[in-house]
């Protein structure tokens, strides 16, 4: 187990513009504010979703799209360092018009309809993502 302990530095609330990219907008904000350690949550709606699922036996991602308007019931994620740069990792649960829910690891390509985001920024040295042989992922060292 890795353990990091922080005090909150600042909490940022954002509204992402209609038509913007969900992940791209968060990445741009994080880079512009030089945020390297944070936890985030969000809710709203998208015009479609671009997601990934990690296959634990093949150790690879499969990408999939959902091309219909969706609610963003809950998004969560974090910011840490990968190759010396801030890296946003986020997952979300979406629902369709009948309330069915599904979700995944959020890719670029989720076009925002409306989105409210909280980014809780922390004070201190950031977790660093390193290659992890057993999972094939870049995990906190």
In the complex, what is the shortest distance from the CB of residue 105 to Zn ion, in angstroms, rounded to a whole number?
3
Q: Look at residues 36, 49, 41, 46 and name the one whose alpha carbon lies nearest to residue 9.
A: 36
- Decide if residue 105 touches Zn ion (CB under 5 A): yes
CB-nearer residue toward Zn ion: 35 or 51: 51
Segment lying near Zn ion (by CB under 5 A), choices 26-34, 35-43, 75-83, 99-107: 99-107
In the complex, what is the shortest distance from the CB of residue 109 to Zn ion, in angstroms, rounded to a whole number?
15
CB-nearer residue toward Zn ion: 89 or 118: 89
Asked if 81 contacts 87 with a C-beta cutoff of 8 angstroms, the reply is yes
In the complex, what is the shortest distance from the CB of residue 137 to Zn ion, in angstroms, rounded to a whole number?
8
CB-nearer residue toward Zn ion: 105 or 118: 105
CB-nearer residue toward Zn ion: 61 or 114: 61
Segment lying near Zn ion (by CB under 5 A), choices 57-65, 100-108, 112-120, 130-138: 100-108
Chain contacts with Zn ion (rule: CB under 5 A): 105
């Amino acid at each position: 187990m890795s353990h990091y302990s922080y005090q909150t530095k600042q909490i940022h609330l954002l509204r992402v513009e209609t038509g913007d990219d969900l992940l791209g907008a968060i990445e741009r904000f994080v880079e512009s504010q030089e945020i390297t350690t944070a936890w985030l949550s969000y809710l709203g709606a998208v015009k479609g979703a671009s997601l990934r699922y990690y296959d634990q036996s093949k150790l690879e991602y499969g990408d999939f799209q959902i091309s219909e308007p969706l609610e963003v019931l809950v998004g969560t994620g974090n910011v840490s360092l990968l190759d010396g740069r801030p890296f946003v990792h986020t997952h979300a649960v979406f629902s369709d018009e009948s309330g069915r829910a599904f979700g995944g690891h959020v890719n670029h390509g989720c076009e925002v309809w409306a989105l409210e985001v909280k980014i809780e920024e922390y004070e201190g040295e950031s977790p660093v993502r390193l290659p992890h042989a057993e999972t094939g992922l870049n995990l906190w060292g």
